Amino acid sequence: MTNWPESIARKAVVAMLPYSARGGATDALHLDANENPYAPPPVVGATGFNRYPAQQPENLVRRLASIYGVNTDQIMVGRGADEGIECLIRAFCEAEQDSILTCPPTFGYYKTCADIQGAGIVEVPLSATYQWYISAVIEAGRPSDVKMVFLCSPNNPTGNSLTRDAILRVCSELPETLVIVDEAYIEFSDQESLADQIGTVPNLVVLRTLSKAFALAGVRGGALLADPRIIDLLIKVLPPYPIARPVEAAILNALAPSAMSVHAQRLAETLSERVRLAKGLEQSDFVETVFPSDANFLLLDVKNETALLKQLRKFNIKIRDYRSTTGHMRISIGSPEENTIALQAFGVIDIPQSIDRIGETFRKTNETDISVRVNLDDPSQTKIETGIGFYDHMLEQISKHGGFGLTMSCEGDLHIDAHHTVEDTALAFGAALKSALGDKAGIGRYGYVIPMDETQAQVAIDLSGRAAAVFKGEFPTDHVGDFPVEMCPHFFESLAQTLGAAIHVDVKGDNSHHMIEACFKGVGRALRPAFAVSGSEIPSTKGTL
Ligand SMILES: *Cc1c(COP(=O)(O)O)cnc(C)c1O
């Protein structure tokens, strides 16, 4: 095993030199790649289009390595997890000689890639209840021409997972064989990723994708995590420059640190929708069984199929038909609204409720990078990080007293001052609230509060659709902590602007901290009845707000 993994790779791949792709553009005068010296017309968010990108763009490698918790030499980035599968089979499977092992029913692309390469397929099917026969996998994986075992966990399309112990047992029983764990859906599962075992278990390869949990299917981005010696072999067969510059920019943007809390909230929503959709589908006359799922889809044993297909056509809904391989159908978890439509199509009368009013805003300028998500119906979803402690505390007051959830991250130019951070987060906050309110059917529209404690803050709000802010009050100091008091009226002005509301605040007192706190609490209190839903009417004689 001294020269493993070369010993199990294709001889031609071990012998060949990598294609001499240039390692990305530098400060040098580049007259080495027959590029055009002029930039093409600009595209927002990316530069350097006239230059070839690096084979493995450094910033992208660093960001994904940090998200997945591996070193930068333990990762290969490519056009989706799919490209990792392609490179593995291309680098290790000799045509007409070597094989891969799969456990069907599973993801179809393993077989497609093997077929393209002329590699064989050894199948160890799952049991009738979709469990893996681990001892059989190990037995069938022993011959030296079986180069790799594909374990998809959570498995597509069955939705269930292998245990960590089972996977590690396969790795240790087949020490010279590559054990590929496809974790395309791991973010939706309670199981931990095996990424933490890269570096300890040399024959373990983990596939991750940005297409599912990170919503980037159209961008094509994924990663393969493995021992650096495996990575080196794979990069030899990776086509030149797989990551286009606009793709790198789009991924870095979508995975910016400020966006991560919104990804986490969306994930939580998908998990709660998975429960709701499963509960609803269990009542459907078209569904015999809903299989348990660790992923963002449900496998269904269906009945009355002709009528079901007719319903789906009527509602113009596509689900995946696996009746030829598993006898079942697979439905992806959509947004709450989409899932409700799906439940209607399945004829569910008593649809479990959960349609939360949610609004998201992403706002990026040279001064601030902000993501905001509000949930008007779930106050438990609150996490605020603007970099200004006092301001975070004030925003918490608004959400707590307003009875809604607020997730906000901002990376702002605080080295200059608090101005841009407060102004831009207020604008983004107002826009997120406005989008969460939707057509405003059934809301209260007006809110009003009265004095509090020794400080008096009177607040009146009208969600009229028209922006107006009136602020009356004199603060005795010019700062509270890092927070300039002049930003208090400015916050309400910016909020009113994007929320489309009239916000009137009148504050009296002799302590700036208390006065500002009273304003934020008061606005929260006034928003609560304004946001509250009763009935479905739009509260205006005009019929629109
Ligand atoms: C979707 C999927 C992939 C492909 O991911 P990409 O990154 O989009 O190529 C890989 N494996 C499984 C099991 C999948 O379901």
371-415 tens-digit pLDDT: 999 999 888 878 999 999 999 999 999 999 999 999 999 999 999
CA of 317 from ligand 1 middle (Å) equals 22
Which residue spans of the chain are classified as CATH 3.40.640.10?
6-20+46-255
Helices (H), 376-511: 389-402, 419-437, 487-499
Name the residue of 87, 183, 212, 219 to mutate for ligand 1: max ligand atoms within 8 A of Cβ. 212
Name the residue of 68, 76, 82 to mutate for ligand 1: max ligand atoms within 8 A of Cβ. 82
CA distance 66 to 47: 24
Average pLDDT (2-20) is 90
The whole-number pLDDT of residue 447 equals 83
The whole-number pLDDT of residue 1 equals 61
The whole-number pLDDT of residue 439 equals 80
The whole-number pLDDT of residue 404 equals 93
Ligand 1 atom closest to the CA of 209, numbered from 1: 7
- Locate tokens 């990069």: which residue? 235
Could you name the CATH architecture of 358-531?
Answer: 2-Layer Sandwich (3.30)
pTM comes to 0.82
184 lines ligand 1 (CB under 6 A): yes
User: Omega into 154 within 30° of 0, i.e. cis?
Assistant: yes
Position 287 pLDDT exceeds 80: yes
pLDDT, tens digit, 9 for 90 and up, residues 17-46: 888 777 778 888 988 888 999 888 877 777
DSSP string computed for 281-319:
HHT-TTEEEE---SSSEEEEEE-SHHHHHHHHHHTT---
Please give the CATH number for the structural domain made up of 6-20+46-255: 3.40.640.10
Position 353 pLDDT exceeds 80: no
pLDDT, tens digit, 9 for 90 and up, residues 201-260: 999 999 999 999 999 999 999 999 999 999 999 999 999 999 999 999 999 999 999 899
Query: 172 pLDDT band (50/70/90 cuts)?
Result: very high
Query: 491 pLDDT band (50/70/90 cuts)?
Result: very high
Which residue spans of the chain are classified as CATH 3.30.230.40?
358-531
Average pLDDT (194-205) is 98
* 262-345 belongs to CATH 3.90.1150.10: yes
CA distance 149 to 374: 44
CA distance 231 to 234: 5
The whole-number pLDDT of residue 32 equals 86
CA of 222 from ligand 1 middle (Å) equals 8
Which residue spans of the chain are classified as CATH 3.90.1150.10?
262-345
Mean pLDDT of the chain: 93
pLDDT, tens digit, 9 for 90 and up, residues 142-170: 999 999 999 999 999 999 999 999 999 99
Candidates 84, 89, 83, 87; CA nearest to 102 is 89
Position 355 pLDDT exceeds 70: no
The whole-number pLDDT of residue 306 equals 93
153 lines ligand 1 (CB under 6 A): no
- Locate tokens 């450094």: which residue? 58
